[in-house]
Structure 1
Amino acid sequence: MIAAGDLHQAWRALPVAPLSDIIGGGTCLILAPHPDDESLGCGGLIAACCAAGRPPLVAILTDGAGSHPQSHAFPPARLRALREREARDAVAYLGLPPDRILFLGQPDTAAPHQGPAFTVAVNALSACVKRENHCSAILAPWRHDPHCDHEAASLIAAAVAERCEIRAVGFPVWGWTLPDDHAVPAPESSGWRLDIARFLPLKRQAIQAHRSQYGGLITDDPTGFQLPPALLSAFETSFETFLQS
Protein backbone atom coordinates (compact mmCIF):
# COMPACT_ATOMS: atom_id res chain seq x y z
CA MET A 1 0.00 0.00 0.00
CA ILE A 2 1.07 3.57 -0.64
CA ALA A 3 -0.50 6.91 0.25
CA ALA A 4 -1.91 8.71 -2.77
CA GLY A 5 0.02 11.86 -1.88
CA ASP A 6 3.30 9.95 -2.04
CA LEU A 7 2.21 8.34 -5.30
CA HIS A 8 1.40 11.72 -6.84
CA GLN A 9 4.82 12.98 -5.79
CA ALA A 10 6.45 9.94 -7.38
CA TRP A 11 4.50 10.48 -10.61
CA ARG A 12 5.66 14.11 -10.78
CA ALA A 13 9.26 12.95 -10.41
CA LEU A 14 9.18 10.39 -13.22
CA PRO A 15 11.83 10.91 -15.90
CA VAL A 16 10.96 12.96 -18.95
CA ALA A 17 11.12 10.68 -21.97
CA PRO A 18 10.64 10.93 -25.73
CA LEU A 19 7.52 9.56 -27.35
CA SER A 20 9.20 6.37 -28.56
CA ASP A 21 10.24 5.42 -25.03
CA ILE A 22 6.59 5.53 -23.99
CA ILE A 23 4.77 3.87 -26.89
CA GLY A 24 7.61 2.08 -28.69
CA GLY A 25 8.53 2.45 -32.33
CA GLY A 26 5.10 2.21 -33.94
CA THR A 27 1.65 3.67 -33.52
CA CYS A 28 -0.53 3.17 -30.46
CA LEU A 29 -4.13 2.43 -29.56
CA ILE A 30 -5.68 4.64 -26.88
CA LEU A 31 -8.66 3.21 -25.00
CA ALA A 32 -10.65 5.99 -23.32
CA PRO A 33 -13.44 4.92 -20.95
CA HIS A 34 -15.64 7.91 -21.85
CA PRO A 35 -15.62 10.73 -24.37
CA ASP A 36 -13.29 13.30 -22.70
CA ASP A 37 -10.82 10.89 -21.07
CA GLU A 38 -8.78 10.84 -24.28
CA SER A 39 -8.27 14.60 -24.05
CA LEU A 40 -7.77 14.76 -20.28
CA GLY A 41 -5.36 11.87 -19.87
CA CYS A 42 -3.35 11.95 -23.07
CA GLY A 43 -4.42 14.84 -25.30
CA GLY A 44 -0.83 16.01 -25.46
CA LEU A 45 0.40 12.56 -26.45
CA ILE A 46 -2.24 12.35 -29.20
CA ALA A 47 -1.08 15.71 -30.56
CA ALA A 48 2.57 14.68 -30.31
CA CYS A 49 1.90 11.43 -32.17
CA CYS A 50 0.04 13.27 -34.93
CA ALA A 51 2.82 15.85 -35.27
CA ALA A 52 5.34 13.01 -35.56
CA GLY A 53 3.37 11.37 -38.38
CA ARG A 54 2.27 8.51 -36.13
CA PRO A 55 -1.42 9.24 -35.49
CA PRO A 56 -2.85 6.91 -32.85
CA LEU A 57 -6.10 5.03 -33.03
CA VAL A 58 -8.49 6.33 -30.36
CA ALA A 59 -11.24 4.02 -29.12
CA ILE A 60 -14.00 5.31 -26.83
CA LEU A 61 -15.27 2.46 -24.68
CA THR A 62 -18.65 3.75 -23.43
CA ASP A 63 -21.33 5.92 -24.99
CA GLY A 64 -21.20 8.65 -22.32
CA ALA A 65 -25.00 8.71 -22.10
CA GLY A 66 -25.06 8.36 -18.31
CA SER A 67 -23.71 11.81 -17.49
CA HIS A 68 -27.16 13.47 -17.34
CA PRO A 69 -29.69 10.71 -16.61
CA GLN A 70 -32.57 13.06 -15.69
CA SER A 71 -32.30 15.45 -18.63
CA HIS A 72 -35.43 15.72 -20.78
CA ALA A 73 -33.74 17.99 -23.32
CA PHE A 74 -30.97 15.44 -23.83
CA PRO A 75 -32.40 11.92 -23.53
CA PRO A 76 -29.88 9.06 -23.94
CA ALA A 77 -29.94 8.86 -27.74
CA ARG A 78 -29.42 12.61 -28.16
CA LEU A 79 -26.77 12.76 -25.45
CA ARG A 80 -24.95 9.80 -26.98
CA ALA A 81 -24.81 11.56 -30.35
CA LEU A 82 -23.70 14.81 -28.74
CA ARG A 83 -20.87 13.21 -26.83
CA GLU A 84 -19.66 11.38 -29.91
CA ARG A 85 -19.63 14.65 -31.83
CA GLU A 86 -17.72 16.36 -29.01
CA ALA A 87 -15.11 13.60 -29.04
CA ARG A 88 -14.66 13.93 -32.79
CA ASP A 89 -14.24 17.70 -32.45
CA ALA A 90 -11.80 17.27 -29.57
CA VAL A 91 -9.42 14.92 -31.36
CA ALA A 92 -9.61 17.06 -34.49
CA TYR A 93 -8.08 19.92 -32.47
CA LEU A 94 -5.23 17.54 -31.63
CA GLY A 95 -4.62 16.81 -35.31
CA LEU A 96 -6.17 13.33 -35.43
CA PRO A 97 -7.74 12.39 -38.78
CA PRO A 98 -11.47 11.56 -38.51
CA ASP A 99 -10.96 7.93 -39.49
CA ARG A 100 -8.71 7.35 -36.45
CA ILE A 101 -11.46 7.40 -33.81
CA LEU A 102 -14.00 4.67 -33.13
CA PHE A 103 -16.80 4.15 -30.63
CA LEU A 104 -17.39 0.79 -28.95
CA GLY A 105 -20.78 1.82 -27.54
CA GLN A 106 -20.64 0.06 -24.18
CA PRO A 107 -23.14 1.44 -21.62
CA ASP A 108 -21.87 4.33 -19.52
CA THR A 109 -21.10 3.25 -15.90
CA ALA A 110 -21.52 -0.40 -16.92
CA ALA A 111 -18.47 -1.23 -19.05
CA PRO A 112 -17.70 -4.94 -18.73
CA HIS A 113 -15.06 -6.32 -16.40
CA GLN A 114 -15.59 -9.89 -17.60
CA GLY A 115 -18.05 -12.04 -19.51
CA PRO A 116 -19.31 -11.98 -23.10
CA ALA A 117 -19.33 -8.18 -23.51
CA PHE A 118 -15.75 -8.05 -22.22
CA THR A 119 -14.71 -10.63 -24.80
CA VAL A 120 -16.47 -8.68 -27.57
CA ALA A 121 -14.49 -5.55 -26.65
CA VAL A 122 -11.19 -7.44 -26.46
CA ASN A 123 -11.84 -9.09 -29.82
CA ALA A 124 -12.75 -5.79 -31.49
CA LEU A 125 -9.67 -3.99 -30.21
CA SER A 126 -7.36 -6.91 -30.97
CA ALA A 127 -8.62 -6.84 -34.54
CA CYS A 128 -7.84 -3.11 -34.69
CA VAL A 129 -4.30 -3.74 -33.48
CA LYS A 130 -3.77 -6.44 -36.09
CA ARG A 131 -5.05 -4.17 -38.89
CA GLU A 132 -2.56 -1.48 -37.94
CA ASN A 133 0.71 -1.45 -39.86
CA HIS A 134 2.69 -1.51 -36.62
CA CYS A 135 0.90 -0.91 -33.32
CA SER A 136 3.43 -1.15 -30.51
CA ALA A 137 1.35 -0.14 -27.44
CA ILE A 138 -2.13 0.16 -26.00
CA LEU A 139 -2.86 2.98 -23.55
CA ALA A 140 -5.69 2.96 -21.01
CA PRO A 141 -6.34 4.48 -17.59
CA TRP A 142 -4.20 3.54 -14.60
CA ARG A 143 -5.41 0.26 -13.15
CA HIS A 144 -6.42 1.88 -9.84
CA ASP A 145 -8.23 4.90 -11.29
CA PRO A 146 -11.28 5.22 -9.00
CA HIS A 147 -14.10 4.70 -11.53
CA CYS A 148 -15.69 1.42 -12.59
CA ASP A 149 -15.44 2.19 -16.32
CA HIS A 150 -11.79 3.17 -15.97
CA GLU A 151 -11.08 -0.11 -14.24
CA ALA A 152 -12.88 -1.94 -17.05
CA ALA A 153 -10.81 -0.12 -19.69
CA SER A 154 -7.60 -1.06 -17.89
CA LEU A 155 -8.61 -4.73 -17.74
CA ILE A 156 -9.62 -4.78 -21.41
CA ALA A 157 -6.37 -3.11 -22.45
CA ALA A 158 -4.32 -5.63 -20.46
CA ALA A 159 -6.11 -8.49 -22.21
CA VAL A 160 -5.51 -6.93 -25.64
CA ALA A 161 -1.83 -6.31 -24.83
CA GLU A 162 -1.37 -9.92 -23.79
CA ARG A 163 -3.15 -11.31 -26.84
CA CYS A 164 -1.40 -9.05 -29.34
CA GLU A 165 1.96 -9.06 -27.55
CA ILE A 166 2.24 -5.29 -27.35
CA ARG A 167 3.10 -2.90 -24.54
CA ALA A 168 0.39 -1.85 -22.04
CA VAL A 169 0.71 1.70 -20.68
CA GLY A 170 -1.49 3.38 -18.08
CA PHE A 171 -2.40 7.01 -17.62
CA PRO A 172 -4.01 8.43 -14.47
CA VAL A 173 -7.19 10.48 -14.74
CA TRP A 174 -9.29 10.39 -11.56
CA GLY A 175 -6.23 9.04 -9.77
CA TRP A 176 -4.94 12.61 -9.57
CA THR A 177 -7.91 13.58 -7.37
CA LEU A 178 -7.38 10.93 -4.67
CA PRO A 179 -6.87 12.51 -1.23
CA ASP A 180 -3.26 12.53 -0.10
CA ASP A 181 -3.95 10.10 2.77
CA HIS A 182 -5.91 7.64 0.63
CA ALA A 183 -4.23 4.23 0.63
CA VAL A 184 -3.63 2.84 -2.85
CA PRO A 185 -3.17 -0.94 -3.19
CA ALA A 186 -0.26 -0.62 -5.57
CA PRO A 187 3.50 -0.20 -5.37
CA GLU A 188 5.04 3.07 -6.40
CA SER A 189 4.61 3.08 -10.17
CA SER A 190 7.42 3.39 -12.67
CA GLY A 191 6.97 5.14 -15.97
CA TRP A 192 7.62 8.38 -17.77
CA ARG A 193 6.52 11.96 -18.23
CA LEU A 194 5.97 13.40 -21.69
CA ASP A 195 6.74 17.09 -22.21
CA ILE A 196 3.60 18.49 -23.88
CA ALA A 197 4.32 22.22 -23.46
CA ARG A 198 4.22 22.67 -27.24
CA PHE A 199 0.80 21.04 -27.42
CA LEU A 200 -0.81 22.36 -24.24
CA PRO A 201 -2.94 25.00 -26.07
CA LEU A 202 -4.32 22.25 -28.33
CA LYS A 203 -5.02 20.05 -25.32
CA ARG A 204 -6.96 22.88 -23.67
CA GLN A 205 -9.08 23.25 -26.81
CA ALA A 206 -9.72 19.53 -26.91
CA ILE A 207 -10.85 19.41 -23.28
CA GLN A 208 -13.10 22.41 -23.77
CA ALA A 209 -14.69 20.75 -26.81
CA HIS A 210 -16.51 18.45 -24.37
CA ARG A 211 -19.03 21.21 -23.65
CA SER A 212 -21.71 18.91 -22.27
CA GLN A 213 -19.46 18.11 -19.32
CA TYR A 214 -18.99 21.70 -18.16
CA GLY A 215 -22.46 22.34 -16.77
CA GLY A 216 -23.53 25.20 -19.01
CA LEU A 217 -25.02 23.28 -21.93
CA ILE A 218 -27.34 20.75 -20.28
CA THR A 219 -29.16 22.67 -17.57
CA ASP A 220 -32.25 20.59 -16.83
CA ASP A 221 -30.63 17.88 -14.72
CA PRO A 222 -29.42 19.03 -11.28
CA THR A 223 -27.82 15.61 -10.75
CA GLY A 224 -25.86 15.79 -14.00
CA PHE A 225 -22.12 15.30 -14.10
CA GLN A 226 -19.80 18.29 -14.30
CA LEU A 227 -16.03 18.18 -14.66
CA PRO A 228 -14.75 19.28 -11.24
CA PRO A 229 -12.15 22.04 -10.94
CA ALA A 230 -9.81 19.70 -9.06
CA LEU A 231 -9.73 17.33 -12.01
CA LEU A 232 -9.33 20.05 -14.62
CA SER A 233 -6.50 21.72 -12.69
CA ALA A 234 -4.60 18.42 -12.56
CA PHE A 235 -4.25 18.57 -16.34
CA GLU A 236 -3.27 22.22 -16.57
CA THR A 237 0.37 21.22 -16.75
CA SER A 238 3.07 20.89 -19.40
CA PHE A 239 3.61 17.20 -18.72
CA GLU A 240 1.51 14.04 -19.05
CA THR A 241 2.15 10.95 -16.96
CA PHE A 242 2.38 7.42 -18.33
CA LEU A 243 2.86 4.31 -16.22
CA GLN A 244 4.28 0.90 -16.97
CA SER A 245 1.54 -1.67 -16.54
Structure 2
Amino acid sequence: MRADAFLAAAEALPFGEFDAIARGRGLVVLAPHPDDESLGCGGLIAEACARGASVRVVVLSDGTGSHPNSPSHPPDCLRTVRERETVEAARALGLEAEHVRFLRLADRFVPSDGTEAAIAADRIADMARECEAGTILATWRHDPHCDHAATAAIARLVCRRLPTIRLLAYPVWGWALPPATEVGRAPRGLRLDISRHAEAKRSAVAAHRSQTSGLIADDPAGFRLDEAMLAQFSRTFEIYLEVEE
Protein backbone atom coordinates (compact mmCIF):
# COMPACT_ATOMS: atom_id res chain seq x y z
CA MET A 1 0.00 0.00 0.00
CA ARG A 2 1.28 3.48 -0.84
CA ALA A 3 2.23 5.72 2.06
CA ASP A 4 -0.31 8.40 1.17
CA ALA A 5 -3.17 5.89 1.11
CA PHE A 6 -1.93 4.16 4.24
CA LEU A 7 -1.74 7.36 6.26
CA ALA A 8 -5.14 8.53 5.03
CA ALA A 9 -6.58 5.21 6.17
CA ALA A 10 -4.75 5.46 9.50
CA GLU A 11 -6.29 8.88 10.09
CA ALA A 12 -9.72 7.31 9.57
CA LEU A 13 -9.24 4.32 11.90
CA PRO A 14 -12.05 3.82 14.42
CA PHE A 15 -11.73 5.43 17.81
CA GLY A 16 -10.90 3.12 20.67
CA GLU A 17 -10.74 3.43 24.43
CA PHE A 18 -7.61 3.70 26.55
CA ASP A 19 -8.28 0.23 27.94
CA ALA A 20 -8.02 -1.19 24.43
CA ILE A 21 -4.38 -0.07 24.48
CA ALA A 22 -3.37 -0.71 28.09
CA ARG A 23 -5.58 -3.74 28.78
CA GLY A 24 -5.42 -3.06 32.47
CA ARG A 25 -1.63 -3.21 32.69
CA GLY A 26 1.33 -0.81 32.48
CA LEU A 27 2.73 0.92 29.42
CA VAL A 28 6.25 1.49 28.12
CA VAL A 29 6.71 4.29 25.59
CA LEU A 30 9.91 4.16 23.54
CA ALA A 31 11.05 7.51 22.12
CA PRO A 32 13.96 7.61 19.64
CA HIS A 33 14.77 11.20 20.65
CA PRO A 34 13.81 13.54 23.46
CA ASP A 35 10.47 14.99 22.19
CA ASP A 36 9.07 11.98 20.29
CA GLU A 37 7.27 10.85 23.45
CA SER A 38 5.36 14.14 23.54
CA LEU A 39 4.77 14.44 19.80
CA GLY A 40 3.50 10.91 19.27
CA CYS A 41 2.14 9.74 22.62
CA GLY A 42 1.60 12.84 24.76
CA GLY A 43 -2.14 12.37 24.99
CA LEU A 44 -1.84 8.68 25.81
CA ILE A 45 0.71 9.37 28.56
CA ALA A 46 -1.53 12.06 30.05
CA GLU A 47 -4.54 9.74 29.99
CA ALA A 48 -2.54 6.94 31.61
CA CYS A 49 -1.36 9.26 34.36
CA ALA A 50 -4.88 10.58 34.94
CA ARG A 51 -6.05 6.99 35.44
CA GLY A 52 -3.20 6.10 37.74
CA ALA A 53 -1.77 3.59 35.28
CA SER A 54 1.89 2.65 35.50
CA VAL A 55 3.97 4.23 32.70
CA ARG A 56 7.64 4.30 31.77
CA VAL A 57 9.06 6.58 29.07
CA VAL A 58 12.38 5.40 27.66
CA VAL A 59 14.37 7.79 25.45
CA LEU A 60 16.84 5.80 23.38
CA SER A 61 19.18 8.41 21.86
CA ASP A 62 21.05 11.24 23.53
CA GLY A 63 19.46 13.85 21.24
CA THR A 64 22.76 15.52 20.38
CA GLY A 65 22.20 15.28 16.62
CA SER A 66 19.67 18.10 16.50
CA HIS A 67 22.28 20.87 16.62
CA PRO A 68 25.63 19.23 15.85
CA ASN A 69 27.45 22.47 15.00
CA SER A 70 26.39 24.70 17.88
CA PRO A 71 29.32 26.35 19.70
CA SER A 72 27.08 27.31 22.62
CA HIS A 73 25.63 23.80 23.00
CA PRO A 74 28.33 21.16 22.47
CA PRO A 75 27.13 17.54 22.79
CA ASP A 76 27.32 17.17 26.59
CA CYS A 77 25.53 20.46 27.11
CA LEU A 78 22.87 19.71 24.51
CA ARG A 79 22.23 16.28 25.99
CA THR A 80 21.68 17.84 29.41
CA VAL A 81 19.31 20.45 27.98
CA ARG A 82 17.26 17.92 26.07
CA GLU A 83 16.97 15.54 28.99
CA ARG A 84 15.88 18.38 31.26
CA GLU A 85 13.25 19.39 28.67
CA THR A 86 11.97 15.81 28.53
CA VAL A 87 11.52 15.66 32.29
CA GLU A 88 9.63 18.98 32.16
CA ALA A 89 7.47 17.67 29.32
CA ALA A 90 6.70 14.50 31.26
CA ARG A 91 5.61 16.52 34.27
CA ALA A 92 3.27 18.54 32.06
CA LEU A 93 1.63 15.22 31.17
CA GLY A 94 1.46 14.11 34.79
CA LEU A 95 4.45 11.75 34.77
CA GLU A 96 7.09 12.02 37.48
CA ALA A 97 10.77 12.30 36.61
CA GLU A 98 11.71 8.90 38.06
CA HIS A 99 9.56 7.23 35.42
CA VAL A 100 11.56 8.77 32.54
CA ARG A 101 14.71 6.87 31.59
CA PHE A 102 17.52 7.80 29.18
CA LEU A 103 19.61 5.16 27.40
CA ARG A 104 21.91 7.79 25.80
CA LEU A 105 22.62 5.90 22.58
CA ALA A 106 24.30 7.97 19.88
CA ASP A 107 21.81 10.18 18.05
CA ARG A 108 21.54 9.14 14.37
CA PHE A 109 23.30 5.87 15.21
CA VAL A 110 20.76 3.97 17.32
CA PRO A 111 21.45 0.31 16.47
CA SER A 112 18.85 -2.02 15.00
CA ASP A 113 20.72 -5.19 15.93
CA GLY A 114 23.96 -6.42 17.45
CA THR A 115 25.30 -6.26 20.98
CA GLU A 116 24.34 -2.65 21.71
CA ALA A 117 20.76 -3.22 20.57
CA ALA A 118 20.53 -6.38 22.66
CA ILE A 119 21.73 -4.52 25.76
CA ALA A 120 19.14 -1.80 25.14
CA ALA A 121 16.41 -4.42 24.74
CA ASP A 122 17.45 -6.07 28.00
CA ARG A 123 17.24 -2.77 29.85
CA ILE A 124 13.85 -1.95 28.38
CA ALA A 125 12.55 -5.42 29.22
CA ASP A 126 13.57 -4.85 32.84
CA MET A 127 11.64 -1.56 32.87
CA ALA A 128 8.61 -3.30 31.37
CA ARG A 129 8.70 -5.91 34.14
CA GLU A 130 9.08 -3.13 36.71
CA CYS A 131 5.80 -1.50 35.68
CA GLU A 132 4.06 -4.78 34.80
CA ALA A 133 3.62 -3.56 31.24
CA GLY A 134 1.25 -5.29 28.89
CA THR A 135 1.94 -2.98 25.95
CA ILE A 136 5.04 -1.38 24.52
CA LEU A 137 4.73 1.56 22.12
CA ALA A 138 7.44 2.37 19.59
CA THR A 139 7.77 4.55 16.53
CA TRP A 140 6.46 3.21 13.22
CA ARG A 141 9.15 1.31 11.35
CA HIS A 142 8.46 3.30 8.17
CA ASP A 143 9.08 6.69 9.81
CA PRO A 144 11.74 8.31 7.59
CA HIS A 145 14.47 8.54 10.21
CA CYS A 146 17.05 5.85 10.93
CA ASP A 147 16.65 6.14 14.71
CA HIS A 148 12.88 5.70 14.45
CA ALA A 149 13.29 2.54 12.41
CA ALA A 150 15.93 1.30 14.87
CA THR A 151 13.62 1.96 17.81
CA ALA A 152 10.97 -0.19 16.12
CA ALA A 153 13.56 -2.95 15.70
CA ILE A 154 14.65 -2.78 19.34
CA ALA A 155 10.99 -2.95 20.39
CA ARG A 156 10.72 -6.24 18.53
CA LEU A 157 13.74 -7.52 20.44
CA VAL A 158 11.99 -6.61 23.69
CA CYS A 159 8.94 -8.57 22.59
CA ARG A 160 11.10 -11.65 22.05
CA ARG A 161 12.22 -11.36 25.66
CA LEU A 162 8.67 -10.81 26.89
CA PRO A 163 6.43 -13.01 24.71
CA THR A 164 3.18 -11.88 26.35
CA ILE A 165 3.73 -8.15 25.77
CA ARG A 166 1.98 -6.44 22.87
CA LEU A 167 3.67 -4.01 20.49
CA LEU A 168 1.89 -1.00 19.01
CA ALA A 169 3.42 1.59 16.70
CA TYR A 170 2.89 5.33 16.62
CA PRO A 171 3.82 7.34 13.51
CA VAL A 172 5.71 10.61 13.97
CA TRP A 173 7.27 11.53 10.62
CA GLY A 174 5.32 9.20 8.34
CA TRP A 175 3.55 12.13 6.72
CA ALA A 176 6.94 13.23 5.33
CA LEU A 177 7.38 10.03 3.31
CA PRO A 178 7.23 10.30 -0.48
CA PRO A 179 3.58 9.52 -1.29
CA ALA A 180 4.37 6.53 -3.50
CA THR A 181 6.50 4.75 -0.87
CA GLU A 182 5.29 1.18 -0.33
CA VAL A 183 4.62 0.50 3.36
CA GLY A 184 2.81 -2.83 3.38
CA ARG A 185 -0.75 -3.82 4.11
CA ALA A 186 -3.59 -1.50 5.07
CA PRO A 187 -3.37 -0.20 8.63
CA ARG A 188 -5.04 -1.87 11.57
CA GLY A 189 -5.29 -0.28 14.97
CA LEU A 190 -7.15 2.61 16.52
CA ARG A 191 -7.26 6.30 17.14
CA LEU A 192 -7.30 7.60 20.70
CA ASP A 193 -9.33 10.73 21.44
CA ILE A 194 -7.00 13.00 23.40
CA SER A 195 -9.10 16.17 23.33
CA ARG A 196 -9.26 16.35 27.14
CA HIS A 197 -5.47 16.39 27.22
CA ALA A 198 -4.86 18.76 24.30
CA GLU A 199 -3.54 21.57 26.51
CA ALA A 200 -1.26 19.23 28.45
CA LYS A 201 0.16 17.88 25.21
CA ARG A 202 0.77 21.39 23.87
CA SER A 203 2.59 22.25 27.08
CA ALA A 204 4.68 19.09 26.83
CA VAL A 205 5.70 19.79 23.24
CA ALA A 206 6.47 23.42 24.10
CA ALA A 207 8.73 22.24 26.94
CA HIS A 208 11.15 21.02 24.27
CA ARG A 209 12.38 24.56 23.71
CA SER A 210 15.59 23.52 21.98
CA GLN A 211 13.41 21.99 19.25
CA THR A 212 10.52 24.46 19.08
CA SER A 213 12.10 27.88 19.59
CA GLY A 214 15.18 29.93 18.82
CA LEU A 215 16.89 28.81 22.03
CA ILE A 216 19.87 27.51 20.03
CA ALA A 217 20.56 30.14 17.40
CA ASP A 218 24.17 29.45 16.44
CA ASP A 219 23.76 26.34 14.25
CA PRO A 220 22.33 27.21 10.81
CA ALA A 221 21.82 23.50 10.11
CA GLY A 222 20.10 22.87 13.44
CA PHE A 223 16.69 21.21 13.63
CA ARG A 224 13.57 23.12 14.56
CA LEU A 225 9.90 22.13 14.62
CA ASP A 226 8.23 24.86 12.59
CA GLU A 227 4.55 25.75 12.68
CA ALA A 228 3.65 23.42 9.81
CA MET A 229 5.34 20.52 11.57
CA LEU A 230 3.74 21.32 14.91
CA ALA A 231 0.32 21.40 13.26
CA GLN A 232 0.72 17.68 12.54
CA PHE A 233 0.81 17.02 16.28
CA SER A 234 -1.93 19.39 17.42
CA ARG A 235 -4.83 17.17 16.39
CA THR A 236 -7.20 15.84 19.03
CA PHE A 237 -6.35 12.22 18.36
CA GLU A 238 -3.31 9.97 18.24
CA ILE A 239 -2.82 6.93 16.03
CA TYR A 240 -1.77 3.53 17.36
CA LEU A 241 -1.05 0.83 14.80
CA GLU A 242 -1.00 -2.91 15.20
CA VAL A 243 2.41 -4.23 14.20
CA GLU A 244 2.65 -6.92 11.53
CA GLU A 245 4.57 -10.04 12.49
- Alpha carbons of 1:106 and 1:221: their partners in 2 closer, same or farther (altered >3 Å)? same
Letter in 2 for 1:235: F
- How far residue 215 of structure 1 moved from its aligned partner, in angstroms, is 4.3
Within-5 A mapping of 1:28-107? 28-107=27-106
Name the structure 2 match of 1:205. 203
CA contact (8 A) 1:121 1:156 kept: yes
CA contact (8 A) 1:138 1:157 kept: yes
CA contact (8 A) 2:86 2:208 kept: yes
Letter in 1 for 2:56: L
Q: Deviations over 1:69-96 (max 9, x none)?
A: 1111000000000000000000100000
Name the structure 2 match of 1:24. 23
2:175 aligned with 1:176: yes
Gaps (5+ residues) in structure 1? none
- How far residue 229 of structure 1 moved from its aligned partner, in angstroms, is 3.3
2:184 aligned with 1:186: yes
**Match 2:143 to one of 141, 145, 157:** 145
Aligned-residue RMSD, C-alpha: 1.1
Aligned residues: 242
Name the structure 1 match of 2:115. 116
Letter in 2 for 1:128: M
| Dislocated runs of 4+, deviation >6 Å | none
CA contact (8 A) 1:140 1:169 kept: yes
- How far residue 230 of structure 1 moved from its aligned partner, in angstroms, is 3.4
CA contact (8 A) 1:46 1:55 kept: no
Q: Secondary structure at the match of 1:57?
A: strand
Distance (whole Å) between structure 1 residues aligned to residue 97 and residue 81 of structure 2? 16
Distance (whole Å) between structure 2 residues aligned to residue 210 and residue 131 of structure 1? 27
Letter in 1 for 2:153: L
Distance (whole Å) between structure 2 residues aligned to residue 35 and residue 77 of structure 1? 14
Name the structure 2 match of 1:242. 240
Distance (whole Å) between structure 2 residues aligned to residue 204 and residue 187 of structure 1? 32
- How far residue 5 of structure 1 moved from its aligned partner, in angstroms, is 1.8
- How far residue 177 of structure 1 moved from its aligned partner, in angstroms, is 2.5
Q: Deviations over 1:44-81 (max 9, x none)?
A: 00000000110410000000011111111000000000
CA contact (8 A) 1:215 1:225 kept: no
Letter in 1 for 2:42: G
Within-5 A mapping of 1:207-226? 207-226=205-224
Letter in 1 for 2:195: A
Letter in 2 for 1:78: C
Letter in 1 for 2:210: S
TM-score, normalising length: structure 2: 0.96
Distance (whole Å) between structure 2 residues aligned to residue 202 and residue 184 of structure 1? 35
Distance (whole Å) between structure 1 residues aligned to residue 182 and residue 133 of structure 2? 31
